[in-house]
Amino acid sequence: APGPVLAVQPTVEMAKRNSRQRIDTLIDESPILRERVKPARSRDAGNTMLSKDFPGGTLVMTGANSAVGLRSMPARYLFLDEVDAYPASADEEGDPVALACARMATFAHRAKAFLVSTPTIRGLSRIEREFEASDQRRFFVPCPHCGEMQWLKFDRLKWDKGQPASVHYLCESCDPPITESAKAGMLTAGEWRATAVAEDPGTVGFHISALYSPPGWQSWESIVRMWETAQGNDDALRVFKNTVLGETWTESGEAPDWQRLYDRREAWANGTVPAGGLFLTAGAAAWIVGADRWPEAKWRDLEAQIGPSETDQPEEAQAGQIRRPIRRPRRIIKFSGMH
């Protein structure tokens, strides 16, 4: 049934570009849509670059960086595109995904939200979190040799090193190699299957990678070539995992060099937490030696924060700092720690 639609891109500028390049083109090339949606260049005030009226509803487009746009209207249908590229907070008013979802409250169980994204970093990825809470549907295809249904995994691609043209797929249940020439028939006979139980029965999730690209698109050979080219380059490997496999990237356990870390610094006032911070932790070491084991300037700065080092009860001296409220935009969180 038609109804109000809110479509959110990472930024307002991206929403404008999407409207020009995709929405307007779609309307122009569809006679049925042209009859129902007037072009933005018309005098109809109900149709602009970021707003399209149609019988029974309206399509409003905005950016995740605009809190005003996210609270501008009730929405029965919500389309959130590239959610992993959204800012942590929309104009310091909170998570843009949560703000957008709040727009569906008027329609209750009749509302539908669709989130889509290229994943980014494991543990920080919004789409990964949403997918893991869903029923995690994968596209299962049959082996052309034994008929075993399975979803395609990159580690089942086999080839001779340095020879991407030799690539083939190894079935989970039989030995004959599956060449890419069989993929078209496999895709035709494929089906979506849930691989988990969703936290909310009304939530479904879908994952698919470039391994499923139909003939004429990205081939297994080109994927293998990209993989071999990316070896030794973490940035290239991350792009490969995110955009080709549709998987999150796991940051290396090794600390980055100081310049890379320094370049990622942001300016925040002392005593505040950036938007997106979930909790703070603190630790304190009990020193039983003199200040000669610590640069004097640093020691004095530490004393100014937690109290004199010679205090009989250092835990009490630290308690005020450890338990003090820490402010961030429109929220207060508690600072807790242990030593």
Q: Token digits for 170?
A: 């190894």
Give the model's pLDDT for residue 93: 87
Count CA atoms within 13 Å of residue 11 on its CB side: 4
Confidence of residue 298 (pLDDT cuts 50, 70, 90): very low
The residues, any chain, with a CB within 8 Å of residue 332's CB and separated by 6 or more, are 325, 326
Give the model's pLDDT for residue 256: 57
Give the model's pLDDT for residue 177: 96
Give the model's pLDDT for residue 334: 35
Residue written as token pair 């580690």 = 155
Confidence of residue 122 (pLDDT cuts 50, 70, 90): very high
Mapped onto helix, strand or coil, the DSSP state of residue 155 is helix
The residues, any chain, with a CB within 8 Å of residue 197's CB and separated by 6 or more, are 135
E strand intervals along 171-312: 177-178, 191-194, 206-207
The CA–CA distances, whole Å, from 222 to 153, 186, 249 equal 16, 19, 21
Q: Does pLDDT of 175 surpass 50? A: yes
Q: Does pLDDT of 306 surpass 70? A: no
Give me the CATH topology for the region 5-117.
Rossmann fold (3.40.50)
Q: What is the pLDDT of residues 224-273, one digit of tens each?
A: 999 999 999 999 999 999 999 999 999 876 555 655 566 666 666 666 67
Contact 236, 229 (CB under 8 A): yes
- Across 52-78, average pLDDT: 91
Least confident of 56-70, 103-117, 119-133, 242-256: 242-256
Mapped onto helix, strand or coil, the DSSP state of residue 142 is strand
Q: Of 214 and 47, which is predicted with more confidence? A: 214
Give the model's pLDDT for residue 226: 97
How is the chain split into domains, by residue range? Answer: 5-117, 139-190+209-244, 266-334
What is the reported pTM?
0.72
Q: How far is the C-alpha of 115 from the C-alpha of 129, rounded, in Å?
A: 11
Q: How far is the C-alpha of 87 from the C-alpha of 65, rounded, in Å?
A: 6
Give the model's pLDDT for residue 73: 86
Number of H helices and number of E strands within the chain?
A: 12, 14
The residues, any chain, with a CB within 8 Å of residue 173's CB and separated by 6 or more, are 143, 146, 148, 150
Q: How far is the C-alpha of 182 from the C-alpha of 240, rounded, in Å?
A: 24
Give the model's pLDDT for residue 332: 36
Confidence of residue 72 (pLDDT cuts 50, 70, 90): confident
Least confident of 20-24, 89-93, 195-199, 208-212: 89-93
Give helix 296-306 / helix 314-322 axis angle, nearest 10°.
70
Q: Does pLDDT of 304 surpass 90? A: no
Contact 23, 60 (CB under 8 A): no
Give the model's pLDDT for residue 48: 86
Give the model's pLDDT for residue 43: 58
Q: Which residues pair with 60 in a beta bridge?
A: 6, 51
Q: Does pLDDT of 281 surpass 90? A: no
Give the model's pLDDT for residue 91: 87
Averaged confidence pLDDT in the chain: 84
Q: Does pLDDT of 331 surpass 50? A: no
In this structure, which long-range contacts are made by residues 14-21, counting pairs with CB atoms below 8 Å and at least 24 apart in sequence?
A: 14/63, 15/50, 15/61, 15/62, 15/63, 16/49, 16/50, 16/61, 18/61, 18/81, 19/49, 19/50, 19/61, 20/49
Q: Does pLDDT of 5 surpass 70? A: yes
Confidence of residue 38 (pLDDT cuts 50, 70, 90): confident
